Amino acid sequence: MNDLMMVDSVTMDFHARGKFLRSIPVRALDDVSITLAGGENLALVGESGSGKTTLARICLRLIKPTTGRVLFQGKDITNVGEQSLKSFRRRVQAIFQDPFSSLDPYMDVGQLLDEPLSIHHLYSKAERRKQAVKSLEEVKLVPVERFVHNFPHMLSGGQRQRVAIARALILEPDLLVADEPVSMIDASSRAEILYLLATLQETRGIAVLYITHDIATARHFSNRTAVMYLGRVVEQGPTTRVITNPLHPYTQALLQAVPEPDPANRHRMRPTIMGDAPNPTNIPEGCRFHTRCPHSIPGRCDVVDPILKQLHSRHFVACHLYE
């Protein structure tokens, strides 16, 4: 498969305010590379602060990386001007974490779906209306007449996210970036939204970059999974292999913490990752996970930063345990 998008050796630095308004450098991403083929679903998994959303914003070209480059269908878009990005904006769409804040509260559903088509000068007004109706039917907001004149505050969280999905897909993009699309939706709607996204991806043949802190959902939704920790990809491979045979201690800890849907185990204490994630303004020397790793090798893990290398077919890991 040809790469639809390639993020090549990207580093992203920010500056935080410290004491006495002193500027403190923060490295959110450190030499990160990922690829995404057409029609593929890649999950980015990790705790808060791992760099997932920053990487998503770079893929959407909402921010420019400090170093590295971003290619879309072989074209370098890292430093392309905003005017030249109009075609890219149509072909790469996003679904954000909070559907209430991502939808204009002063527009009804029909206007929200009409707006992107108008911006890109697509179709006549009557045809745009037909496209809006079709999109609402695809995301199962039927009968359409019941929803098309509603404003976001009149909808449930799950319904708002369905509108956000319809709005993202109405331009028929090649890539959909879904940043924690179910984290702010009630539990009863999460499976429905993920199933809807999976169905739409299959019928439309689009690629999806799925960002989540919940590795359990990646198992049912993604072809490949990349696990991130403190701005680095520490493991990457086919989702089934990463889930059934996790190599990195951090991936293993994430999986052990997933609750089991078995009432008999409700009193069993699930293992958690020991300690807290280090402050990103003071990343540890060597392997950045060694301060929380139960298998840390003194004199090795706290000194040498492991590189991401292939251990099995298409399965990569950055860990000294496999040297």
The band of 286, judged by pLDDT with boundaries at 50, 70 and 90, is very high
Cβ burial of 126 (10 Å; 0-12, 13-18, 19+) is exposed
Among 127-141, 257-271, 301-315, name the one with the lowest average pLDDT.
257-271
Other beta carbons within 10 angstroms of residue 238's beta carbon come to 16
The answer to whether 88 and 177 have CB atoms below 8 angstroms apart is no
The band of 261, judged by pLDDT with boundaries at 50, 70 and 90, is low
Average pLDDT over residues 184-191: 80
Average pLDDT over residues 84-106: 91
pLDDT tens track for 103-126? 999 999 999 999 999 999 999 999
Average pLDDT over residues 251-266: 74
The band of 221, judged by pLDDT with boundaries at 50, 70 and 90, is confident
Residue 300 confidence (pLDDT) above 60: yes
The band of 55, judged by pLDDT with boundaries at 50, 70 and 90, is very high
Predicted model pTM: 0.91
The answer to whether 159 and 152 have CB atoms below 8 angstroms apart is no
Sign of CA dihedral 251, 254, 259, 264: positive
Which regions of 161-299 does DSSP assign to beta strands (E)?
A: 175-179, 207-212, 224-229, 232-238
The band of 32, judged by pLDDT with boundaries at 50, 70 and 90, is very high
> Measuring CA to CA, how many Å separate 242 from each of 70, 119, 162, 235?
26, 41, 30, 8
Q: What structural domains does the chain harbor?
A: 3-258+271-277+312-318 (3.40.50.300)
The answer to whether 178 and 208 have CB atoms below 8 angstroms apart is yes
Mean per-residue pLDDT of the chain: 90
Q: Give the per-residue pLDDT at 268.
A: 58
